[in-house]
Structure 1
Amino acid sequence: MSDAAASDALALAIRQALGRKPQRARAYWAERRQREPQCPVAWAMLADCELIRGKPHRTQALLAQARVLCPEHPLLDVVAARLEGQRQDWAAAEGHWRSSLAHRDAPRDAWLGLHGVLLRQGEAAAADALWRDATLPAEPSAQAPLLPGWQLHWWSRAAAAETIAIQAQALEPEVAGETLFRQARALAVTGRLAEAEALLGGSNADAVQVVVLLAELAQARADWPRAVERWTHALRFPPGELQSSLLLAARPSAAYPHLCLAQGLVALGRMGEAAQSLQQAARLGGEGEGPFHKLAASVAAAQADWPSLQQAWAKAIAQEGPGRELAIAGLSAAWRMVVLGGAEPAPGEAFFTAPPEVRAENARLRAGLEELRRGPLVAVPGMSVVRDAILMPHLPSKAEFLAGRPSLVMRGGVFDAAGRILPAGIQLGAADHQPEEVIGPVAAFPMLQGRWLLGAPAFWPHIGHFAFDCMGRLWAAERSGLELSGVLYMAGQAGVTAQRELDFVGIRNGANEIRKEKYQYLRDLIEIFTGKPDFMIADGPLRIEECVIADQLLAYDHRKGAGHPLFRDFIRRKVEACLQGSASAWDRIYVSRAKFSALRGPLCGEAVLEDELREEGYFIMYPELLTIRQQLELYRHASKLIFSAGSAVHIAALAQTGDQDIAVIGRFPGQRNFMRAAWAQMEAMGARRMVWVEAIQGMFRATQRKQRVFEAPHALDVERVKQALHAEGFVSSPSSRTAAVMPAVRDSFIERLNAEFPGESYAFIER
């Protein structure tokens, strides 16, 4: 039979099948087989009709008979491939598709079939190569007729989905619907979900394959209301027909649609209906499938059924083993039960519960936290190596959840395998660290292999906070003498979704953001002081093979800002080794903030001060434009350093040699109280002399919103600054030429503020 005749035959079969008239199609092909017993197309199409009717055994029998009369014909291989695909024997299906394509007059739809089977087997690269390298005519023509599905393929290579939909309008309605469905299917398996759904609007909305694909698309997009509606519709079809139409499922089964429906119902909070769907899935053998036990756990948690929750999670862990997503889901369930529901954790095989004596010990430690924070640093530093440590992320309290906002309280941390709080792992300084108990399916927590030094149970990407709150334990990298896998920090507090699930997406995105080039200075600091070129931020629950926990020897607290003598010696050695052989031509340096955005702290008039300090021989330094090593080099070799108060002071403290005079110009009234810890550190590290300069002329108040004093931009009184610096020996002349130009400078600064923040307006308030 010619290619054109085969095209006509297939088109007719498609029209009749899509018109939901399989009996009429079967009668047509049966009659044609009687008239033309040697016609392989008639045999193939009759076998295909039986497959559509859910009679695969008849399909197989017809194919066997046809092979005797006409052993080689591409359409027979096409139907055989479809049969094996329904049986989910993808390797056999691939063989039949390839056999069909080996024929000179192979139907072009066979390319689409092979493409789909390759995707089913996870061979995306091979599928893409097939799609890309297929031999196609320049355009459809009578001399090179294209079957409906292949017309679609030809259009899709260069056209958007909207163009394909317009082109399909030229076909007969049933064929156009099949064309659009095929393209939607191809788009769906390659992740173009929105385009796939848009195309399905032109398909037969009552056809099982269309209903199922629409349901799968809603499921993939987490559009739960539509997913529930569509799966409910899909479950009205016969099970075999429904199962054979599943496209996006990794392992299609009879239970899969019921599990999908249950997932949507759980997401919508319809737990009673979800329980019924799970019962139906269980009757169809769905208990062995991935989401079953997690969904059962969600239902149990909503019903406050703690024993059933434990049982479901024990089965889920046994089935899947440790993993991030499983651990987070289980932790969410435990958090809802214990924190929101007030349930008392009971011992069980799935959820961790510390022994009573450990819980009592933890309670005593928490009772003494305030004294620990107010007290001095440890006199004799120590460290320990904890095997199989548990890292609990920081979770919100019930009050924080009900208020809808997180707090700065850190309730997680690193615990030993028994759930015991490790005192050396409690964060001192600015953070409010109040470790609670270990909860959740610890057996599901992923294992972090290797030996890791705990940098801090928190992480501040702000360089000033990092220098104080995230470096106080790095001394152990040198003193331990152990080979470390890296330095470990913890991300911030997890969020909560509308469905009361813990949300770690935000803190994971934050951790990924810190991998970017603009945070290279953090990696530089860690490499200088530990020899490790990188670090890890734990953005979820973990178990740690070995965790080195060292006492914190520096904290953002004026009582602890000087740091422990051992820590100061450690810093000096590392900086000296880092800068060995370096030199700087600048003896006098002014550290400016003038290049920051207007709300990040530049002082109005700072550019004028820069000009006058240049005349005094000062180098104007913008630390954000330099590497950490370059900054340390400049600070170490200067004898006089003037700062516009900010985080640069913390980094300069690391490079003190005992020969530097330091002046710090406050940027807002009362800032010296914020700088007490940095002041203590600078003096302890060896600054020869420290001077504070307070010379604020006024502030720029926003008229559309409230501002705290330290948030508002301020103007500098340059004359008073020069006088103070002259009195302390930093400049030779106390005079300044700024009085006449300052009104224009303030007006220009207001224009800058208004340009940076459209819709806001600012007014200068003189102090």
Structure 2
Amino acid sequence: MTDDPYAKHLAFLDYQRARPEPVRAPVIEIVPDATVTGVGDVVKSPQGVSIQDSGVYHADDALCGLSLHRASNIPEDNIAPDPLPSERRARGDVVPGRHLFGGIIGPHFGHYLVESLGRLWAVDHLKGEFDSLVFIRTHGPKRTPFADFGQDVLAALGLDLPVHTVVRPTRFAELVVPSQLFGFHLRAGHPLFHAFVHRRLRAISGAGEGARRLYVSRRQYGDTPGEEALETLLAGHGYRIIQPESLSFAEQIAAYNAADTVLLAEGSAVHVLAMVARADQRVGVVQRRPGVFAGGMDHLRGFSGRAGVLIASQPVESVADRLAQNGFLAN
């Protein structure tokens, strides 16, 4: 595989074009006596794409194709063998009850929001209760995000359910597998997923009530050029400066729901805001790295119906001019 970044990018695009189109419509498949496999060893395709092997299988060992995760704008993919190899069959008892498949889950907060919530819309469209949510843990740290922030997000969404994090093949008496209606393959999200998060999150109020202007900082990471001076400028124009890491997920949502204008340093906080952003809000994203931050900007536009404004952070000395030109410093 070449080391040239542009050639790598073209190779990734060639790989993704050859893949079957992902499902972008609401579909639900019920899988009795389902086997969920953990991820196998990651292998590289000839184009350099990292392939992680995991999925959901029917009782006859046939792959449930709807369970495969799609990450179409990064060099990773999820492909599973069909049928299930005998050595990958579950060895333990069947987990009784009815369970909802949530897809994959990794250790990064932003990716959790974008890649691990997109199947949960089905909760609002199926009768009856679920006994748990089922996720496949991807490679990375042995911890899952539920110990850090995952349960906080699920609680805000009103999903008070146990979570099964699968690392080795496990059988479930009944597994409901919905299509993934939000993710890197569908960055603006599907209207059913919009409705799911809006209904559950836009009503949250509390911390941050009354703060009409917010700046969401990354200063503790030190990766946004000129951010300390930017915060001083914005505080002088009536902005409340918040560090999202010091707030619960529900407190962050409440602050965004109460605001008319939100400026954010580029990062995971943009994906939090995008879940509840409204067409009557003015939203700006201050860049911290080259590129157009397409995933975050598409998320904002798709869920709110209004495009956010991308503000270049360099040259630092002219950031104030760019903010003023876009209406963020008006009284």
2:167 is matched with 539
Distance in 2 (CA, whole Å) between partners of 1:668 and 1:537 is 33
Q: Could you tell me which of 526, 545, 552 is aligned with 2:154? A: 526
CA distance in structure 2 between the aligned counterparts of 1:691 and 1:417, rounded to whole angstroms:
49
Q: Any idea what SS the aligned residue of 2:35 has?
A: strand
* Alpha-carbon distance in 1 for matches of 2:162, 2:241: 31
> Is 1:372 paired with 2:21?
yes
Q: How many Å separate the matches in 2 of 1:538 and 1:625? A: 30
Q: Which residue of the partner structure matches residue 132 of structure 2?
A: 486
Q: Is the 8 A contact 2:94 2:172 kept in 1?
A: yes
**What does residue range 329-478 of structure 1 map to in structure 2 within 5 Å?**
370-373=19-22, 377-378=24-25, 381-396=26-41, 408-429=50-71, 430=74, 431-437=76-82, 438-439=84-85, 440=87, 442=89, 444-456=91-103, 458-478=104-124
Distance 2:256 2:88 in 1: 50
Within 5 Å, give how 1:545-694 maps onto structure 2.
545-557=173-185, 560-577=186-203, 579=204, 584-596=209-221, 598=222, 602-670=223-291, 672=292, 675-686=293-304, 688-694=306-312
Q: Which amino acid aligns with 1:525?
A: V
- Tell me the TM-score normalised to structure 1 length: 0.38
Cα distance in 1, alignment partners of residues 318 and 246 from structure 2: 29
In 2 relative to 1, CA 369–525 (structure 1 residues): closer, same or farther, beyond 3 Å? farther
**Correspondences of 1:99-248 after superposition (within 5 Å):** none
Whether the 8 Å contact between 2:131 and 2:162 is mirrored in structure 1 is no
| 1:724 Cα offset (Å) | 0.5
| Paired residues, number | 308
SS at match of 1:554: coil
Structure 1: 5+ residue stretches without partners: 1-366, 401-405, 494-505, 698-716, 734-767
Shift of 1:567: 1.1
Distance in 2, matches of 1:455 and 1:490, equals: 8
Partner of 2:319: 721
Per-residue deviation, 1:368: 9.8
**For the residues of structure 1 that align with 2:294 and 2:258, how far apart are their CA atoms?**
25
Q: How far apart are the structure 2 equivalents of 1:532 and 1:368? A: 39
1:401-436 CA distance string (max 9 Å, x none): xxxxx9842211111111112122111235401111
Q: 1:580/1:482 Cα in 2 relative to 1: closer, same or farther (>3 Å)? A: farther
Map of 1:122 onto structure 2: none
Deviation per residue, 1:649-674 (Å, 9 max, x gap): 0000111232111111110222x1xx
Match of 1:510 in 2: 143
Instruction: Quote the Cα distance in structure 1 between the aligned partners of 2:31 and 2:233.
Output: 57
Kindly state the Cα deviation for residue 515 of structure 1 after the two structures are TM-superposed.
5.1
Deviations 1:260-298 (A, max 9, x none): xxxxxxxxxxxxxxxxxxxxxxxxxxxxxxxxxxxxxxx
Instruction: Give the corresponding residue for 2:11.
Output: none
Task: Answer whether contact 2:225 2:288 (CA < 8 A) is retained.
Answer: no
Distance in 2 between the 1:661 and 1:570 partners?
Answer: 23
Q: 1:692–1:628: structure 2 CA closer, same or farther, 3 Å change rule?
A: same
Q: Any conservation in 2 of the 1:369–1:434 contact (CA below 8 Å)?
A: no
Give the strand-richer structure, 1 or 2: 2
**Local SS of the residue matching 2:66:** helix
Write the deviation string for residues 722-755 of structure 1: whole angstroms up to 9, x where unpaired.
100100110149xxxxxxxxxxxxxxxxxxxxxx
**How far does residue 627 in structure 1 lie from its aligned partner after superposition?**
0.4
Retained in 2: the 8 A contact 1:592–1:643?
yes
Question: Following the alignment from structure 2 to structure 1, what is the Cα–Cα distance between the partners of residues 18 and 129?
Answer: 32
The residue identity in structure 2 corresponding to 1:540 is R
Letter in 1 for 2:327: G
Evaluate the alpha carbon distance shift between residue 528 and residue 534 of structure 1 in structure 2; reply closer, same or farther with a 3 A threshold.
farther
**How far apart are the structure 2 equivalents of 1:687 and 1:649?**
15
Q: Which has the higher helix share?
A: 1
How far apart are 1:604 and its partner, in Å?
A: 3.9
* Counterpart secondary structure, 2:189: coil
What letter is aligned with 2:287? G
Deviations along 1:592-640, one digit per CA (max 9) or x if unpaired, are: 00012x4xxx324211111111000000011011001110011111111
Tell me the secondary structure at the aligned position of residue 654 of structure 1.
helix
CA distance in 1, matches of 2:284, 2:98: 43
Amino acid at match of 1:564: H
CA distance in 2, matches of 1:443, 1:549: 18
Using the TM superposition, name which of 417-426 and 524-533 deviates more. 524-533
Q: SS at the partner of 2:327? A: coil
User: Which amino acid is the alignment partner of residue 450 of structure 1?
Assistant: G
Query: Which secondary structure does the structure 2 equivalent of 1:476 belong to?
Result: helix
Asked if the contact 2:214–2:263 (Cα under 8 Å) also holds between the matched residues in 1, the reply is yes
Larger Cα-atom Rg? 1
Looking at structure 1, the residues matched to 93 and 262 of structure 2 have their Cα atoms a distance apart, in angstroms, of 48
- C-alpha distance in 2 between matches for 1:564 and 1:589: 28
Q: Is the Cα contact below 8 Å between 1:472 and 1:554 reproduced in 2? A: yes
- Measure how far apart 1:384 and its partner are: 2.3
Against the structure 1 CA distance between its residues 572 and 533, is the aligned structure 2 distance closer, same or farther, given a 3 Å change threshold? same
SS in 1 for 2:273: helix
Please tell me the root mean square deviation across aligned C-alpha atoms, in Å: 2.5
